[in-house]
A and B are shown apart, each in its own frame.
Chain A
Amino acid sequence: MAVRPEQEQSVMDIWIEGRQWERFPWWFVGILGAILFMIFKIVSDPQYTRAYNAILPGLRLTLYITVVAFLAAVAIGLIAGLGRISQNFVLRNLATLYIEFVRGVPTLVLISTVAFVIVPGVANLLGIQTPRDQTPRAIAALAVIYGAFLAEVFRAGIESIPPGQMEAARSLGMTHFQAMIYIILPQAIRNMLPALGNDLIAMLKDSSLVSVLAVREITQEARLYSGSTFRFSETYLILTLLYLIMTIILSLLLQWYQRRLRNE
């Protein structure tokens, strides 16, 4: 930053000599360009305008599914992650069974399995009506799948805390549970934030997969619209850039938040 020109030097010279241009995030300019191009197209080209108007109503559902399913996945992941490192061999094996099961089946297949097999099965077991609406099933499916990934994130996060922290807490008379809640997890979650953020972005992208359940989020809306109008290129270009805008914004927010944490 502190480049002090000895003699007459233009700003451009310093910039190029300091190789600042190599550090500049040119990729971002590319993405910004694509987004601006899309906005221009939507405003100026009626075909794009129509496709955009057809997809947009699904955006609320995409965001809703992502947020609710992620919160549920965090809860499942915490429980399964604690189970994974439990001293109790029954809990440990149950947690490992769940995680390995989810990891061994393709996500797209598992969404249908959860929606059509597990959700009705559990509803039957509890003696309640299976929801007619597909949205809760889609949320359950994503939560179950990401719960398994997050379980491993929680396990790694907890294991990243030196064992001395637990020992010190226990030596003061805290129960294992108190030590976990007040001492270990607050530190573990800090270490986990980058991984959690990445999984939130991945979840946003994978929410597109629940279109196989005919849940009318943006991907499903795009499929319906393009299927009936044969405007595939306009529709999918808009769909692609919509996801890109959301993931870029999320990713920038996470970077900003992490930088803030580091500087604390």
Chain B
Amino acid sequence: MSNPIEIAPDEIIVVDELRKFFGAVEAVKGVNLRVKRGEVVVVIGPSGSGKSTVLRCINHLEVPTSGAVYLDGIHLEDRRTNINQVRTEVGMVFQQFNLFQHLTVLDNVIVAQRLVRKRSNEEARRIAMEQLTRVGIPEKANVLPRQLSGGQQQRVAIARALAMTPKVMLFDEPTSALDPEMIKEVLDVMLELAQDGMTMVVVTHEMGFARAAASRLVFMDQGRIVESGDPEEMYHKPQHQRTRDFFNKILTHG
């Protein structure tokens, strides 16, 4: 399959001229983004800037109005693309955790492995326990999600996504619904994941995480990427007035 745009072999995510309308509102106004294997891209920006929409287009939960997304060279908007197969390679972590409420923690991590990856029960169980150990809560395997704290639920959600052995992990404001004292435990898991070389795209307001883990920082406003670059550089010397304003707003109380 030949693609109309050039994609380097190490570029696992390519977002090309992405636009998205919700009714008459244009949420994303032409975004271009290229992510290399092993990169950790942190996307920041005020609410309504379109950053979550871009993220949701990367695993086709949102269908772009125009433009294209390529995952490992596969064009998502192509009718011939099996989107379910592509999604097994892309883990997603949501703001509201979205754990399956009727299943135990262990079954949450097992169910998609069995149905989608077609793994045997023993293998799925072994991988699930590995991932639960990785996020630090193997002892909660047999409880229901509602018996866990928000931070624990989010860590299970990360384990659930990791158990599919994805090539890319997407995080959609993973700590925004958490009580302050639980943010760190989730960020620690994410930081470790970044250090292990996982390719990650993270939408967040946590500047501390961005500076510690990001290989690139992207600032979005009003549906466009305003600037992107090295996190420290951007943090200390933002090139654009809007970036400067945003940093001032989120940092005055931090």
Contacts and interface: CB of A to CB of B under 8 A. Distances in A.
B98 A172 contact: no
Contacts of A178: 115-116
Contacts of B112: 169, 172-174
Interface string B102-119: 100000000110011100
B61 A182 contact: no
B102 A172 contact: no
B160 interface: yes
10 cross-chain pairs, A with B, having the tightest CB-CB distances, nearest first: A172-B112, A168-B98, A173-B88, A164-B98, A171-B92, A173-B116, A173-B87, A173-B84, A187-B102, A186-B102
Contact of A168 (B88, B94, B102): B94
B161 interface: yes
A67 interface: no
B111 to A, nearest CB: 6
Given A167-B61, A178-B115, A173 B98 contact: no
B59 interface: yes
Interface string A55-73: 0000000000000000000
B96 A171 contact: no
B203 to A, nearest CB: 14
Given A165-B100, A173-B117, 18 more contacts: A164-B94, A164-B96, A165-B101, A168-B92, A168-B94, A168-B100, A169-B112, A171-B91, A171-B161, A172-B161, A173-B84, A173-B87, A173-B88, A173-B116, A174-B112, A182-B115, A186-B102, A187-B101
A167 B112 CA distance: 13
B84 A175 contact: yes
Contact of B102 (A167, A170, A175, A190): A190
B85 interface: yes
Nearest to B164: A172
Contacts of B111: 182-183
B244 to A, nearest CB: 35
Interface residues of B, number: 25
A172 B94 contact: no
Interface string A173-216: 11100100011001100100000000000000000000000000
B84 A171 contact: no
B90 interface: yes
A99 B150 CA distance: 41
A168 B242 CA distance: 33
Interface of A: 162, 164-165, 167-175, 178, 182-183, 186-187, 190
Nearest to A185: B102
17 contacts: A168-B157, A169-B112, A170-B87, A171-B61, A171-B92, A171-B94, A172-B87, A172-B88, A172-B116, A173-B88, A173-B116, A173-B164, A174-B84, A182-B111, A182-B115, A183-B100, A186-B102
Q: Pick the most buried of B96, B102, B157, B161: most chain A CB atoms within 10 A of its CB.
A: B102
Contacts of A173: 84-85, 87-88, 112, 116-117, 164
Contacts of A165: 98, 100-101
A190 to B, nearest CB: 7
Contacts of A175: 84
Nearest to A176: B84
Interface string B70-100: 0000000000000011011011101010111
B19 to A, nearest CB: 22
B116 A174 contact: yes
Nearest to B116: A173
A171 B164 CA distance: 11
Nearest to B100: A183
Nearest to A186: B102
Of listed A168, A170, A174, A190, residue having the most chain B CB within 10 A? A168
A171 B90 contact: yes
Interface string B143-182: 0000000000000010011001000000000000000000
Contacts of A167: 61, 94, 98
A190 B160 CA distance: 24
Contacts of A186: 102
A184 to B, nearest CB: 10
A171 B87 CA distance: 6
B171 to A, nearest CB: 12
Contacts of B102: 183, 186-187, 190
Nearest to A187: B102
A168 B156 CA distance: 13
A175 B164 CA distance: 15
Contacts of A172: 87-88, 112, 116, 160-161, 164
